[in-house]
């Protein structure tokens, strides 16, 4: 294991700043969300080019339902349009698409569309793209704990057997490489309830760039920044250096 891998295997992005981007242009917030689609295409292209294995995008948080009804409706409509339009292109690029989050909140036709897109791209291997919708990091931990509790109740699991590895296997994204790089656009330096468990040892990269302006060059800069970090996982810099030597 090298301490300074140049390319993160798994990147997650909080795609923030659409509303402010639209406001700067005196347009409705939904205009900014729509413009964000281009940035999604940019980061997918960038990950394919750089050889990143997994990309996880925060599209709608479990808290975003609190937004005005009109904005939530516009986001759902955009989501359906993007799903219909982009799935084929992603498939052609060798991208496997997954949706993570509490999907039970969505209506049946939308859920079916999501399932169909997941099934259609399930054999692809070049890039694992996960889109987090109605996702919350606390929800994720709760659902994993609930699965473990149910196994205990059926007598299939001893409480003493519940450890980090076991609970981790029940969290979203467990089948992917560990999260290496967590990016947030839009200038806020917070996690906003994204991937709380999975980000425990991720490198964090915050940029003021608003999401619709984020492009392959911005992604490349984030990857370069990551390449300069020393990941110590609790050990000392000297220990890491002697491992390499
Ligand atoms: C992120 O952009 C997109 C979603 C949360 C769906 P915002 O809509 O939060 O944009 P700002 O933060 O208000 O600029
Ligand atoms: C986080 O952004 C959620 C997504 C980008 C989908 P928010 O804009 O909702 O986060 P807060 O409210 O500023 O923390
Ligand atoms: Mg925001």
Residue-wise pLDDT for 85-115, tens only, equals 999 999 999 999 999 999 999 999 999 999 9
pLDDT tier at 6, thresholds 50, 70, 90: confident
Average pLDDT over residues 154-163: 97
Instruction: For residues 79 and 18, give the distance between their C-alpha atoms in angstroms, rounded to a whole number.
Output: 15
10-137+178-244: CATH number: 3.40.1180.10
* Best CA proximity match to 76, nearest among 110, 102, 116, 108: 110
Active site residue 134: no
The tens digit of pLDDT for each residue in 199-239 reads 999 999 999 999 999 999 999 999 999 999 999 999 999 99
pLDDT score, position 244: 80
Residue bearing tokens 């997918």? 44
pLDDT at residue 125 in the model: 98
Outline where DSSP puts E strands in 35-165: 54-61, 95-100, 127-135
pLDDT of 135 reads 98
Q: Which of 18, 64, 84, 215 is catalytic?
A: 64
**CA-to-CA distance for 153 and 45, rounded, in angstroms?**
46
CA terminus-to-terminus distance, the chain: 12
Nearest-atom number in ligand 2 for the CA of 190 is 14
Instruction: Reply yes or no on whether the pLDDT at 182 is more than 50.
Output: yes
CB distance 192 to ligand 2 below 6 Å? yes
Sign for the pseudo-dihedral over CA of 85, 40, 128, 57:
negative
Strands 127-135 and 203-206: unpaired
> What are the boundaries of each domain within the chain?
10-137+178-244
Atom of ligand 2 nearest to the CA of 15: 5
Residue 202 region by backbone torsions, left for phi larger than 0, else alpha for psi between -120 and 50, else beta: beta
pLDDT tens per residue, range 21-31: 999 999 999 99
175 has pLDDT over 60: yes
As a whole number, mean pLDDT of residues 240-244 equals 90
Residue 46 has pLDDT above 70, yes or no: yes
Q: Does residue 4 carry a pLDDT above 80?
A: no
CA atoms of 208 and 225, how far apart (whole Å): 15
The pLDDT value recorded for residue 34 is 98
C-alpha torsion angle, residues 128, 134, 136, 138 (rounded to 10) = -120
pLDDT value at 1 more than 70: no
Helix then strand count (H, E) for the chain reads: 8, 6
The answer, yes or no, to whether residue 242 has pLDDT greater than 60, is yes
Q: Residue 16 catalytic? A: yes
CB of 16 within 6 A of ligand 2: the answer is: yes
- Is residue 50 exposed (0-12), middle (13-18) or buried (19+ Cβ within 10 Å)? middle
How far out from the chain centre does Cα 238 lie? 33
CA distance 93 to 87: 10
Cα(195) to ligand 1 centroid in Å equals 17
Confidence bin at 3 (pLDDT 50/70/90):
very low
Cβ-count burial of 245 within 10 angstroms (0-12 exposed, 13-18 middle, 19+ buried)?
Answer: exposed
């Amino acid at each position: 294991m090298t301490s300074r891998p140049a390319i993160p295997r798994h990147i997650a992005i909080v795609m923030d700043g659409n509303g402010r981007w639209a406001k700067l242009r005196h347009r409705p917030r939904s205009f900014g969300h729509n413009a964000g689609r281009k940035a999604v295409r940019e980061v997918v292209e960038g990950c394919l080019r750089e050889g990143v294995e997994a990309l996880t995008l925060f599209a709608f948080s479990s808290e975003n339902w609190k937004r005005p009804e009109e904005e939530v409706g516009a986001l759902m409509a955009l989501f359906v349009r993007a799903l219909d339009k982009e799935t084929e292109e992603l498939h052609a690029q060798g991208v496997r698409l997954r949706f993570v989050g509490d999907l039970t909140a969505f209506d049946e036709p939308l859920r079916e569309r999501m399932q169909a897109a997941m099934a259609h791209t399930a054999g692809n291997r070049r890039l694992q793209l996960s889109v987090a919708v109605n996702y919350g990091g606390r929800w994720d931990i709760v659902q994993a704990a609930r699965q473990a509790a149910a196994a205990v109740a059926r007598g299939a699991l001893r409480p003493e057997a519940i450890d980090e590895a076991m609970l981790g296997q029940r969290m979203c994204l467990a089948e992917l490489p560990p999260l290496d790089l967590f990016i947030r656009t839009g200038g806020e330096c917070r996690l906003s309830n994204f991937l709380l468990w999975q980000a425990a040892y991720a490198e964090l990269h915050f940029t003021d760039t608003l999401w619709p302006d984020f492009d392959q060059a911005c992604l490349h800069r984030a990857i370069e920044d990551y390449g300069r970090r020393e990941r110590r996982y609790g050990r000392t810099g000297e220990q890491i250096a002697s491992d390499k030597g």
